[in-house]
Amino acid sequence: MKNILGMNKISWWDNAVIYQIYPRSLLDSNGDGIGDIPGIIEKLDYISGLGVDAIWISPFFKSPMKDFGYDISDYRVLDPIFGTLDDFDDLIKQAHNKKLKVIIDQVLSHTSDQHAWFQESCQSRDNPKADWYVWADAKDNGDVPNNWLAIFGGSAWQWDDSREQYFLHNFLTNQPDLNYHCDDLRRQILEEVEFWLKRGVDGFRLDALNFCYHDKELRDNPFKPLKERRGRGFSPDNPYAAQYHIHDSDQPEILGFLEDLRRLIDRYPGVMTMGEINTENSLKTIANYTAGNKRLNMAYSFELLVDDFSGAHIRETVEKQMAQMNGGTPCWAISNHDVVRVLSRWGGDNPDPEMAKMLTALLCSLPGTICSYQGEELGLTQADIAQEQLQDPFGIQFWPDFKGRDGCRTPMPWTARKVNAGFTEGTPWLPIPEDHLAHTVDKQEADPNSVLNSFKDFMAWRKQQKALLHGDIKFMDTDKGILAFTRRDEAHVIYACFNLTAQSKQITLPNHVTACRPSDSPLLSGNHVTLPPHGVFFGQGTA
């Protein structure tokens, strides 16, 4: 059987569901208020029971935690708050015993300013690591080298007295950018990656990958008109949204590095790479970064992580991405640790739990690899974090127009009657919202109609549907409140219909369609399907 890209060989990730773990917030095993690797091990039975195929763990490396692990000071050591390398090796073993693949988050575009490499690079302009970071002289008048901006606010350049030069940082000033135009740095980065390959990881999620290269001429970015300053996950009031970022990221030289990385990865059969892409044309960038089966295996963008919740937007995004794929696997995410939780982002202040069930079914019916963020299986909403409780530097910088990312990072609510919902016996690093106590795992496991049990049921059913796993996708023209498409393989066709609204909707299907699932049968009368608010229907026919 061929997969959706027409290739005979199907890899484990081609239709996998990947469960993203934010380790600070899954489970604390030692009472310090911060989740850790032993906590993940303790919850592997729960995660395996969801029916997912892999876990992706956000950074757990040694770090001063200015950006909560995305500022790495040593690529080969766990931060003590998360555990030890022995703990990680145990995690690999235990996960593999439960048939779960393990994907780790690698931050290759920048490090912490506390990394030994940067500390050496700062010392002079002629030391062995002098060119491992992006340094530039001030302009003749003392100004910064160009107009590039940092995502977290202000100029992307920071003055260093030791070298009497500026260094580039696309995020915090504590996160200096690595210089991928330096051959020695590129070789060293591949060695850091191979360290984890040798420990048995099954894949890498590559953070902020498009920032690895910058324009060597340091040309200014052009400015955007106000009407174009939306999308890409940035609010229009963030100055970063006011530029076309064509010189500070996504440079053509990165394709050669991705091919070097792929040659390394291919020496370890069964390992995958997944890039995080956020560029001016992310779908085109994904096509370039995955082209020819010689670069990344897959990448995802922010197109479905924005506020726009409409059938037209979802359809346009999927159709454009599928049309451009040339060797990689499509990858989809509607939530993660950087954006407002999807149920709040798309459902408003008082979202219907049925919407959470619908969104899981919709996401997991798309072709390719699926990423699901911890807590989505519970239908958790965005937490409202008071200003004085904020931890996220992004939110602290832009409060109150942007409240940061803490609201999607709060601890998992496990048990309603235990202190801190069973997350920790200490003081949690972020507060556990009162309204999350109504959605704890123990309560939902006892309710056959819960969001959690719906998630499990759908994952089990999906694994039996060859057309959903391997088939092509074709969207149907429908009422604007309905999203519908077919998934078709050589023998079967599935009609997937989703009501995106809070009102009942009706859709007409071909006469030969029957319901796929017993629960869907009452929705079908003749060839008419009546979808309740946020309802879902799956029909089947022959190809």
Q: Which residues are catalytic?
A: 207, 276
Using alpha carbons, list the distances in angstroms from residue 485 to 245, 271, 505: 34, 31, 16
Amino acid at 455: F
Using alpha carbons, list the distances in angstroms from residue 68 to 83, 222, 334, 476: 15, 31, 22, 43
Amino acid at 281: N
DSSP-derived pairing of the beta strands 298-300 and 272-276: parallel
Q: Residue 378: helix, strand or coil by DSSP?
A: helix
Which among 373, 378, 354 is positioned nearest to 500, based on CA atoms? 354
Integer-rounded Cα radius of gyration of the chain: 23
Q: Which ranges of 177-281 would DSSP assign to H, the alpha helix? A: 183-197, 254-265
Across 266-390, the runs of DSSP E, i.e. the strands, are 272-276, 298-300, 331-333, 369-373
Angle between helices 353-363 and 451-462 (to 10 degrees): 20
Q: What is the separation, in whole angstroms, between the first and last Cα of the chain?
A: 15
Which among 3, 13, 20, 42 is positioned nearest to 105, based on CA atoms? 20
The whole-angstrom separation of Cα 253 and Cα 77 is 29
Amino acid at 11: S
Q: Residue 498: helix, strand or coil by DSSP?
A: strand
Which among 134, 30, 120, 124 is positioned nearest to 84, based on CA atoms? 30
Q: Residue 317: helix, strand or coil by DSSP?
A: helix
DSSP-derived pairing of the beta strands 369-373 and 331-333: parallel
The whole-angstrom separation of Cα 112 and Cα 387 is 26
Place of tokens 């106590």: 437
User: Encoding tokens for residue 543?
Assistant: 């190809």
Residue 77 makes CB contacts below 8 A (sequence gap 6+) with 61, 62, 85
Contact between 410 and 24 (Cβ < 8 Å): no
User: Encoding tokens for residue 94?
Assistant: 């235990």
The whole-angstrom separation of Cα 235 and Cα 366 is 27
Q: Residue 538: helix, strand or coil by DSSP?
A: strand
Quick one: three-class SS letters along 10-50?
CCCCCCCEEEEECHHHCCCCCCCCCCCHHHHHHCHHHHHHC
